[in-house]
Structure 1
Amino acid sequence: MNLALWIGTGLLAVVALAGGVSKTFVPREKLAAAHGGGWTGDAGDSFVKALGVLELLAAAGLVLPGALHIASVLVPVTAVCWVALMVGAMITHGRRAEIAFVVLNLGYLALAAFIAWGRFGPASFVH
């Protein structure tokens, strides 16, 4: 169980890191032109950058507390926050009829829910 949670956490952290880097450092106009990034054309620069920073923090919050054994409870808390972020992403893509991205976000949500369940429950870092 612990190995499955670490693998899932690593995968989700990579997703968060990639999304965070692109939203934080790629110009919004370029993001809006990319496949699945059309929603950024309707959002302000500050909003997109803020989401990017949150995703960067999520990448760190999913991995570092557990790896360093410092405030390990932040791992499942971050996973719960990711669930909330994915609900927002699903609503945004759903409004734009981008069903493939809704399904993708649902997969990320399920992975985050698994991590939260596992780290709050049977494979908690607290012994």
Structure 2
Amino acid sequence: MNIFLWILQAALAALFALSGLGKAFQPKDKVIVKAPALADYSPPMIRFIGGAELAGALGLILPAALGVATPLTPTAALGLGVMMLLGARVHLRRGETQGVAVTLVLSVLAAVLCWGRFGPYSW
């Protein structure tokens, strides 16, 4: 089970890092091509969301890599899971069923990681 959590942790970190980089550093026009649900948001809000995703990705990796403050890893997973639930709500309001499905799956995966790192397979 521990190897599964390591793989899940790395995959989620990579996914959120790439997503966050795009939202944090690209202009709004380019972001909404890939994420049309963000069309109603201001550029600073889109950058904030990207920054939060980047912070979450770092929170998944750095505590484990440095061996310091390891409870931050499941806390980051929890935060990312909540962000994905909020994202699912946005997609639901816009009638984007595929977006709802993707964000719910990511939220469940983050919850599994949170459970594993806080629970029986914690550091």
Q: What does residue 32 of structure 1 align with?
A: 32
Q: What does residue 54 of structure 1 align with?
A: 52
Does residue 105 (structure 1) correspond to residue 107 (structure 2)? The answer is no
Q: State the one-letter code of the partner of 2:76.
A: T
The runs of 4+ residues in structure 1 deviating greater than 6 Å are none
Instruction: State the alpha-carbon separation in 1 of the partners of residues 100 and 69 from structure 2.
Output: 32
Q: Deviations over 1:34-79 (max 9, x none)?
A: 3xx1122210011000010111111100011012110000000001
Does residue 116 (structure 1) correspond to residue 117 (structure 2)? The answer is no
Q: What does residue 84 of structure 2 align with?
A: 86
Q: What does residue 17 of structure 1 align with?
A: 17
Indicate the RMSD between aligned Cα atoms, in angstroms: 0.9
Instruction: State the alpha-carbon separation in 2 of the partners of residues 40 and 27 from structure 1.
Output: 12
Aligned length: 123
Q: Deviations over 1:72-107 (max 9, x none)?
A: 000000011111101110001111111111111111
1:15 offset after TM fit, Å? Answer: 1.1
Instruction: State the alpha-carbon separation in 2 of the partners of residues 5 and 62 from structure 1.
Output: 11
Instruction: State the alpha-carbon separation in 2 of the partners of residues 121 and 12 from structure 1.
Output: 19
Task: Give me the identity figure in percent.
Answer: 36
Instruction: State the alpha-carbon separation in 2 of the partners of residues 41 and 12 from structure 1.
Output: 24
SS in 1 for 2:24: helix
TM-score by length of 1: 0.93
Q: State the one-letter code of the partner of 2:23.
A: K
- Structure 2 unmatched ranges of 5 or more: none
TM-score by length of 2: 0.96
SS in 2 for 1:14: helix
Higher helix share: 2
Q: Deviations over 1:6-40 (max 9, x none)?
A: 10011110111111011011111122233xx1122
Instruction: State the alpha-carbon separation in 1 of the partners of residues 101 and 93 from structure 2.
Output: 13
